């Protein structure tokens, strides 16, 4: 049995939806989560910047003696996953591969939609993976810059959110997709709105559930699972203000956060 924690990171609190699924799927494992609040959002930033941020955090978490690094951010996965897998000595799992695989398995007409941040769409990793799994599949991608701020607002279920979802969904409906990847870790919080807009005939694929399964399978395959009979713990780090992280974090995690430790950007840069 391997008692080291799983290291998880995101630009902010969105990745807590993925962590929640991991805590449910792997209740015996320990987790440490780092939210890079000081540099969010990642979505509109140049991919080169996101790649550098992800490397700094990945190296920092590896120095914390984690046994696996989970990139719980679609933009960071799109920008940096191959580089992290090459450089780090522990396994690295991202949120895109599990989703792409699930979407290809789910589609009946081989037309798949993607809703994500600008950076995730620009990175093109979904398209590469979908076509690697099924060269005849069509991927229609739509960047959704307004959704994350709306979901983080005081009223994520306001009419403005539904209007934005309808706007971003329109090109996918016109293309006749039967499967839609919700390629941002914030999106599970407004799952009912997506279900209402797309209806039951369209399969929705979320990163959280698929990624938690991938983490479980990777730990088992590598033989680095923790003892099944124990109850795991989790702790939180942020490069921003702990109070702000807590305010949004408990809504996304749907569990108490406990203590939150602040990490200086200079410390990330020094380790990397």
Parallel, antiparallel, or unpaired for β 260-262 and 203-206?
unpaired
Give me the catalytic one of 184, 197, 219, 253: 184
Give me the catalytic one of 40, 62, 73, 205: 73
Name, in order, each residue with C-beta under 8 angstroms of 148's C-beta and a sequence gap of 6 or more.
Answer: 14, 41, 43, 117, 184, 186
CA 4-9-15 angle, 5° bins: 115
Helices (H), 88-158: 96-106, 118-123, 125-133, 147-151
Contacts 24+ apart (CB under 8 A), 227-233: 227/1, 227/3, 227/28, 228/28, 229/28, 230/28, 231/27, 231/28, 232/23, 232/26, 232/27, 232/28, 232/29, 232/30, 232/31, 233/30, 233/31
CA distance 238 to 217: 28
Residue 73 annotated as catalytic: yes
* Residue 250 contacts residue 37 (beta carbons within 8 Å): no
Residue 144 annotated as catalytic: no
* Residue 130 contacts residue 105 (beta carbons within 8 Å): no
* Residue 113 contacts residue 173 (beta carbons within 8 Å): no
Give the residue numbers marked as catalytic: 73, 184
């Amino acid at each position: 049995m391997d008692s080291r924690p799983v290291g998880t990171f995101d630009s902010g609190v969105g990745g807590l939806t993925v962590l929640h699924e991991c805590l449910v799927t792997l209740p015996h494992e320990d987790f440490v989560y780092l939210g890079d609040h000081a540099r969010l959002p990642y979505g509109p930033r140049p991919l080169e910047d996101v790649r550098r941020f992800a490397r700094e955090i990945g190296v920092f978490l590896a120095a914390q003696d984690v046994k696996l690094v989970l990139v719980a951010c679609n933009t960071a996965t799109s920008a940096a996953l191959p580089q992290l897998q090459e450089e780090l000595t522990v396994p690295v799992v991202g949120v895109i591969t599990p989703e792409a695989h699930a979407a290809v398995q789910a589609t009946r007409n081989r037309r798949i939609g993607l809703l994500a941040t600008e950076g995730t769409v620009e990175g093109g990793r979904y398209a590469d993976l979908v076509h690697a799994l099924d060269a005849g599949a069509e991927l229609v991608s739509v960047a959704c810059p307004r959704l994350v701020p709306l979901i983080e607002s005081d009223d994520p279920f306001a009419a403005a959110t539904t209007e934005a979802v309808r706007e971003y969904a329109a090109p996918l409906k016109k293309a006749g997709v039967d499967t839609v990847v919700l390629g941002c870790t914030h999106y599970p919080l407004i799952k009912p709105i997506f279900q209402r807009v797309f209806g039951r005939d369209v399969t929705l694929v979320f990163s959280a559930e698929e990624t938690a399964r991938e983490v479980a399978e990777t730990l088992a395959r590598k033989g680095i699972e923790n003892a099944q009979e124990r109850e795991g713990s989790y702790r939180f780090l942020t490069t921003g203000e702990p109070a702000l992280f807590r305010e949004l974090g408990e809504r996304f995690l749907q569990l108490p956060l406990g203590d939150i430790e602040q990490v200086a950007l200079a410390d990330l840069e020094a380790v990397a």
